[in-house]
A and B are shown apart, each in its own frame.
Chain A
Amino acid sequence: QKEVEQNSGPLSVPEGAIASLNCTYSDRGSQSFFWYRQYSGKSPELIMSIYSNGDKEDGRFTAQLNKASQYVSLLIRDSQPSDSATYLCAVIRGSTLGRLYFGRGTQLTVWP
């Protein structure tokens, strides 16, 4: 079982819609959770971090964490074509401070 699993997609939504990206992780002791956006040929760019159960909102982005279900998600409201990218879920496990474990990423396309 991989440490972090994401639906590889691709996910395609129309402009203005809500895009929902999902991630599960295997280590119940994981403490910190991150969403990065990566445009083709570029490096990952941090979008959101979340550390406790519940929702965290930042502009059009909402991260949701459910530690009991070992599940983290990212919602993008009012999706724009500029949101088209690969979204990477990353986790810091409780036993290994520092290193990030990444999923494979979900490719999102927002069409006008």
Chain B
Amino acid sequence: DTGVSQDPRHKITKRGQNVTFRCDPISEHNRLYWYRQTLGQGPEFLTYFQNEAQLEKSRLLSDRFSAERPKGSFSTLEIQRTEQGDSAMYLCASSYGGKSTDTQYFGPGTRLTVL
């Protein structure tokens, strides 16, 4: 399988706990994006990387959220001190080239439930 992969696929946690998600992009893609999607809404942009550089962060990304892509390959998204409002599907996407016409391909997502 050469698509975008995410792990875990589902995560249930208690409020206040920390969680970390991993995304492995398509191998030749240099751009990696994180989005969050809640029920009935379209995905909302969180952040993106070109290689290992984090180029943009949304205002949605509070200081409890941190993302890394240390070697320009896989990325991790960590949420500290989770809140019930963090319950959502966290989607990772990747693309190649950095042009405005780049097509982003999505992974299967990680569904987070905060109790």
A96 contact set on B, CB distance < 8 A: 56
Q: Does B84 contact A (CB under 8 A)?
A: no
A92 to B95, CA, bound (A): 13
Distance between Cα atoms of A41 and B73 in the complex (Å): 27
CB contact between B42 and one of A45, A46, A51, A102 (< 8 Å): that residue: A102
B-side contacts of A31, CB under 8 Å: 100-101
B44 contacts which of A36, A45, A97, A102 (Cβ < 8 Å)? A102
Closest CB in chain B relative to A47 CB, distance in Å: 11
Please give the number of chain A residues whose Cβ is less than 8 angstroms from any Cβ of chain B in the complex: 26
Is the CB–CB distance between A46 and B45 below 8 Å? no
User: A92 to B41, Cβ gap below 8 A?
Assistant: no
Q: Nearest-CB distance from B76 to chain A (Å)? A: 18
Interface size on B, residues (CB 8 A): 30
Measured in the bound complex, the distance between the Cα atoms of B39 and A42 in whole Å is: 12
Count of A-B contacts judged by CB separation below 8 Å: 67
Q: A4-B42, A97-B99, A98-B102 are in contact. List 8 more A-B contacts (CB 8 A).
A: A32-B100, A34-B103, A43-B108, A44-B43, A90-B42, A97-B98, A99-B48, A104-B40
Contacts A/B (CB < 8 Å), 20 sampled:
A31-B101, A32-B102, A34-B104, A36-B106, A42-B109, A49-B101, A51-B101, A88-B43, A94-B100, A97-B98, A98-B48, A98-B50, A98-B95, A98-B98, A98-B100, A100-B35, A100-B43, A100-B93, A102-B44, A104-B40
The chain B residues found within 8 Å of chain A, CB to CB, are 31, 33, 35, 40-45, 48, 50, 55-56, 58, 89, 91, 93, 95, 98-109
